[in-house]
Amino acid sequence: MNDAPLDPLTALRPWAAPEVTSWRRLPMNAVDRRPGAVPLDGDWHFQLLPAPDAPLGEVWSSSYVPGAWTMQGTDDLPRYLNIRMPFAEFPPDVPAANPTGVYERGVDVPAEWAGRRIVLQVGAAESVLLVHVDGRPVGISKDSHLAAEFDLTGLVRPGERATVRLTVVKWSDASHIEDQDQWWHGGITRSVLLYAVDPLHLADVTVRARRDGDLLVECRVRDAGGPLPEGWYVSGELDGQPLTQDAEFDRANAEDERVSDFLGEARLRAAVADVRTWNAETPELYDLTVRLHRADGTVADTSRHRVGFRDVEIVGRDLLVNGERVFIRGVNRHDFHPLTGRTVTYDDMRADLVLLKRFGFNAIRTAHYPNDPALYDLADELGFYVVDEADIESHDHAHEIADDPRYLGAFVDRVARMVLRDKNHPSVIIWSLGNESDYGANHDAAAGWVRRHDPTRPVQYEGAAKRGWADPGLASDIACPMYAPLEECLAHALSGTQTKPLVQCEYSHAMGNSNGTLADHWAAIEATPGLQGGFIWEFWDHGILQRVNDGRPAGRGGAGLHDNGVAAPGHRWAYGGDFGETDHDGAFIADGVVFPDRTPKPVMFEHREIAAPVRIEAFRHEGVVLGNHQHFRGLEWLSGEWELSLAEGTTLTAPAELPVLRPGETAAVPLPFVVPEDGGEAWLTLRVTTAGDEPWAPRGTVVCLPQVRLRAACPPAHTRVPDGTVEVDEDGLLVHPLLTSAPTLSLWRAPTDNDVLGGMADRWRDWGLEAPTREVVSVRRSPGRVAVVSDYLCAGGTVRHEQVLTAVDGGLIVDESAELPEALHDVARVGTVFETVAGLNLLEWFGQGPWESYPDRAAGAPVGHHRLPVDELFTPYLRPQESGGRHGVRRFTLSAPDTTGLAVRLDRARQVSVTRHRAADLADVAHHDELVPRAGCVVHIDAAHRGLGTASCGPDTFASYLVAAGVHRWSWTLRVL
């Protein structure tokens, strides 16, 4: 029996009490306190207890703050579950086994803080924080992704050392509303600091800056000692220009007997002439300084802000920024890092946003909680529209919690605290009440709070919008579905009943090799009033860098142990199940447009082109028509170069003069080249780069590569007069000095995540497409020609394959056909596969590239002459799957350094892949590091290849991208170099 007096914070058992959202936590505000603070980041003494009421041990280890203990060598490891809670208890209860981290350190309180108000700020702790100083209880906080502040004045003595203890309980009633689709961690994931202010201080500052130049700054002033002293006042300046005090407001308050003398409110105003407005393309910011003065004029407190003048409004069914119906080219972003789990630095966030800018994104949804505060500063500065989302997701128990009055306070608290923190950011254009928590009275209560407190921004909540896009009720001003089929969005926009802007909060699920039909979506969005875009799910693949030998996270020491999306030898990107969990959701955590080390996946290039600010609208004989597809900017920040690619020639270049175009305008520009008579198929590309340095890209960074075909290919004039000999074995299989495996029929691909979760992979397995039995029906030999008919016997039916091999001068023509019975509708591919000898390590091709592309994700890969080492063709998706394909390939060579090798010419543009892996090699392993590359190349030439779609979460590809039953014909020539 432990006789120690029970600690009052522990006695309250706040981890199973949703009514307790905090105790003695200071109100959230938007005053910037970071300058002058004492940082408390670094190693803290640490103990991990098995439960919050377990006794403290004798032995301390250490833990780095900010950081998750789950990433720092404890036995409590990261765990991934999407929807299901990691424990069975019903809300608000939690399991008795409840890891609890106790962090302790000494803090030297500066002597010069005597007489000041001293505040402790804990940036983020999940999921319950109990604070003690020198053994005395200070306060409690929940809300894992927002800071908690506590007043330590009187508890610590300036000039002396105090012991701060932060106890972090992992599981709580709050976990039930923090059930987001991500890793579960425990710890203090954002910085801790101590700061001091004058007792007379700015308690909050609210900035309203409109696009007409009207600026209103509302200041809330408090004195820690109680009543405000006589004579205080505020002053401010904007870019050095003084603001005026709103005397009218002061007088009205003084005359209103309902307003108390202690009101502590003041307003500053300005009318900025010729204001430079803020938008995501030209994020103009002004510097605002607000000062609080004592009666004698001395400054008691100062707060600095960056101000953007802009309006957000909904007019009819359009969401307008500064009166413009902007397209939302968004992505969902978590605070994620492969070494820390959750903790991100300023540089990390800057790198995220810079990358997104470079790939044409202009919007972020902070899925699914308020992100690190610096993210919003960066969004203001670099130009992003932000949907700021509150930390509420009760996915597993959504229905029970949405109307549970015990959680009412938590809902309102979380939404309100987010709004109070982030309200001054011009980048934040919409408040989101959270994610996947059904819809109940608790949401309406939170929405009501926001509408009263910040009428300047719309509110959205998918759970409400789900009730009816035209009438989501109080909780949503936006129809913001997730993964809605495009045809439903179109039908709604065309129905005549639409009342709200339609911006999908999540769409185009980026799991593995995915994002098929993105270009089709955007063609529809841009052509359909009422549709305004959406947020791709999601930015990151949340793979944690893991040591393979002991299964531990590499942690902060793992820096540099990855390159180009690939973990170093002995390491891998861990996903669900890799930390010994038995209950998990596998690779569903790896669903981003970038790898865990931020290497862009091929879809990023697709997106960059879809978002192109300047486009080739049309080609007429005298020239091309260029259009400006931005909302606010001209083309002056861009420079261009024309490239003319001839299929049977080279690429010519010429400087491009971009016309002066306002947004939405087009202009004809003359063709920069006389297209040579010969050279076959001809493509004109406008290589658009930044003309000068942008905050997110140095001069010369590629912005887009719009392209138009100037001349179609002539059908190949094969002479099929046999000339030479064709050698086949007794099975009719080609014998060729450069091939280790003869060309045979392929109907299968290593299932993508979409194929698996969409059910296609199972169907293909049931049909036996992976390894059909080949039975030779006939081998007919004639001089210089062999015609082979074979049947590929699958459980789902028999596919008849004909291959006619004709020797011609210098090579071999391969004419093929395959007849798929009706039952085999929608297979992965119909085409040829063969394997080469080792040493052919360079692929050069004329077709789409240079990055990976597939039939329904091919808008961003321009046609041209491309070359890449074979090892760089493959995309290392975390769970190996079909990868490395190139769409629209007309011909290619595969060569050794001594330029020997083979050349293939296709009858028309087709899907090709050259990798070191058979489809079965890929399908057999769970992680990229388990793949053993083959020495030779595995070459696929597809007559037809199925689109990728997004069926791992959302719509599959369109019918037009499916591989239908019936007869497929293709032909190609093979030549030795």
* Residue numbers at the binding site for Mg ion (CB under 5 A): 181, 395, 436
Q: Which is nearer to ligand GAL, 81 or 415 (CB)?
A: 81
Q: Which is nearer to Mg ion, 395 or 905 (CB)?
A: 395
Q: Which is nearer to Mg ion, 437 or 806 (CB)?
A: 437
Say if residues 306 and 377 touch (Cβ distance below 8 Å).
yes
Q: How far is the CB of 733 from Mg ion (least distance, A)?
A: 51
User: What is the C-alpha to C-alpha distance for residues 609 and 598, in angstroms, rounded to an integer?
Assistant: 19
User: What is the C-alpha to C-alpha distance for residues 159 and 895, in angstroms, rounded to an integer?
Assistant: 73
Say if residues 392 and 435 touch (Cβ distance below 8 Å).
yes
Q: Which is nearer to ligand GAL, 175 or 435 (CB)?
A: 435
Q: How far is the CB of 435 from ligand GAL (least distance, A)?
A: 5
E-assigned strand segments in 272-335: 286-293, 299-307, 312-315, 318-321, 324-325, 328-332
Q: Which of residues 72-91 bind ligand GAL (CB under 6 A)?
A: 82
Answer yes or no whether residue 485 interacts with ligand GAL by CB under 6 A: no
Answer yes or no whether residue 578 interacts with ligand GAL by CB under 6 A: no
Q: Which is nearer to ligand GAL, 387 or 482 (CB)?
A: 482
Among 335, 352, 422, 436, contact with ligand GAL (rule: CB under 6 A): 436
In degrees and rounded to multiples of 5, residue 384 shows phi and psi of -140, 145
Q: Which is nearer to Mg ion, 444 or 462 (CB)?
A: 462
Which pair of structure tokens corresponds to residue 539? 């930015």
Q: Which is nearer to Mg ion, 436 or 956 (CB)?
A: 436
Q: 953 is in the binding site of which of ligand GAL, Mg ion, none (Cβ under 5 to 8 A by kind)?
A: ligand GAL
In sequence order, which residues have a C-beta less than 8 Å from that of residue 252 and are 6 or more positions away?
none
Q: How far is the CB of 436 from ligand GAL (least distance, A)?
A: 5
**Which residue in the shown chain puts its C-beta closest to Mg ion?**
395
Q: How far is the CB of 538 from ligand GAL (least distance, A)?
A: 7
**Which residue in the shown chain puts its C-beta closest to ligand GAL?**
181
Q: Which is nearer to Mg ion, 301 or 436 (CB)?
A: 436
User: What is the C-alpha to C-alpha distance for residues 348 and 329, in angstroms, rounded to an integer?
Assistant: 21
Give the amino acid at 536.
I
Q: 522 is in the binding site of which of ligand GAL, Mg ion, none (Cβ under 5 to 8 A by kind)?
A: none
Strand partners, 389: 432
User: What is the C-alpha to C-alpha distance for residues 322 and 888, in angstroms, rounded to an integer?
Assistant: 41
User: What is the C-alpha to C-alpha distance for residues 460 and 478, in angstroms, rounded to an integer?
Assistant: 6
- Count CB atoms within 10 A of the CB of residue 563: 10
Q: Which is nearer to ligand GAL, 237 or 585 (CB)?
A: 585
Closest CA to 622 of 673, 664, 678: 673
Binding mask 916-955 for ligand GAL (x = CB under 6 A): -------------------------------------x--
Q: Which of residues 332-371 bind ligand GAL (CB under 6 A)?
A: 368
Q: How far is the CB of 507 from ligand GAL (least distance, A)?
A: 10
Q: How far is the CB of 182 from ligand GAL (least distance, A)?
A: 8
Q: How far is the CB of 341 from ligand GAL (least distance, A)?
A: 17
In sequence order, which residues have a C-beta less than 8 Å from that of residue 550 and are 6 or more positions away?
none
Q: 482 is in the binding site of which of Mg ion, ligand GAL, none (Cβ under 5 to 8 A by kind)?
A: ligand GAL
Among 143, 179, 438, 591, contact with ligand GAL (rule: CB under 6 A): 591
Q: Which is nearer to ligand GAL, 436 or 852 (CB)?
A: 436
Say if residues 857 and 866 touch (Cβ distance below 8 Å).
no
β-strands 148-151, 38-39 pairing: unpaired
- Count CB atoms within 10 A of the CB of residue 835: 18
Answer yes or no whether residue 435 interacts with ligand GAL by CB under 6 A: yes
Among 336, 439, 537, 683, contact with ligand GAL (rule: CB under 6 A): 537
Answer yes or no whether residue 391 interacts with ligand GAL by CB under 6 A: no
**What strands, in cross-sheet order, belong to the sheet with 22-23?**
22-23, 136-142, 128-133, 161-169, 100-108, 42-49, 61-65
Q: Which is nearer to Mg ion, 181 or 578 (CB)?
A: 181
What SS3 state is found at 462? helix
Q: How far is the CB of 506 from ligand GAL (least distance, A)?
A: 5
User: What is the C-alpha to C-alpha distance for residues 771 and 799, in angstroms, rounded to an integer?
Assistant: 12
Q: How far is the CB of 449 from ligand GAL (least distance, A)?
A: 23
What SS3 state is found at 810? coil
Going from the C-alpha of 211 to that of each of 216, 240, 242, 381, 789, the distances in angstroms are 12, 20, 19, 17, 72
Residue for token pair 């403290």: 56
Q: 537 is in the binding site of which of Mg ion, ligand GAL, none (Cβ under 5 to 8 A by kind)?
A: ligand GAL
Length of the chain: 977
Q: Which is nearer to ligand GAL, 757 or 769 (CB)?
A: 757
Which pair of structure tokens corresponds to residue 758? 């969409």
Closest CA to 158 of 203, 121, 195: 195
Binding mask 487-506 for ligand GAL (x = CB under 6 A): -------------------x
Answer yes or no whether residue 181 interacts with ligand GAL by CB under 6 A: yes
How many residues line the site for ligand GAL (CB under 6 A)? 13
**Chain residues that interact with ligand GAL, rule: CB under 6 A:** 82, 180-181, 368, 435-436, 482, 506, 509, 537, 588, 591, 953
